[in-house]
Amino acid sequence: MKNVMVCVTQQKTCDRLIQFGREALEGQEGELFIIHVAPKDVKLLGNPEEGEALDYLYGKAIEYGANLTVVRSNHILDTLVELVEKNQITHVVLGQSGREKKKENLITKFRKKISQQAELIVVP
């Protein structure tokens, strides 16, 4: 069984990641999870129209037959690792950041923490 978790940030860029996650699951038994973790002190989706952003993600979840989870946490990495364990995730899809070395460090740490359970796929 293959469970795929797609980590999304801003609504406009997440569709291709969700499609990639769906394609990774295609033809196999398992579930698709769309996950967004937002710091508690920041707008939920980096968008002042949060309701519209949530509607967009909800619509994408329905379109792709996915589970949508939106979590508030100031410990993003730990929260993602917990969700991998809780949902028995085998593959994690996330987008590569072209602007921050700090995000690359996050990716490296995340890969190391989940390496025994899931494969991390970074989409350019």
pTM, two decimals, is: 0.87
At residue 98's C-alpha, the angle toward residues 44 and 71, to 5°, is 20
What Rg value do the Cα atoms of the chain yield, rounded?
14
Cβ 21 vs Cβ 4: under 8 Å = yes
Tell the residue number behind the tokens 């398992």, with chain if given: 30
Q: Would you give per-residue pLDDT tens digits along the chain (124 residues)?
A: 899 999 997 666 788 999 999 999 888 899 999 998 888 877 665 656 667 778 888 899 999 999 999 899 999 999 999 999 999 999 999 988 765 555 558 889 999 999 999 999 999 8
The pLDDT of residue 33: 97
In this structure, which topology does domain 4-123 adopt according to CATH? Rossmann fold (3.40.50)
Confidence at residue 102, expressed as pLDDT on a 0 to 100 scale: 54
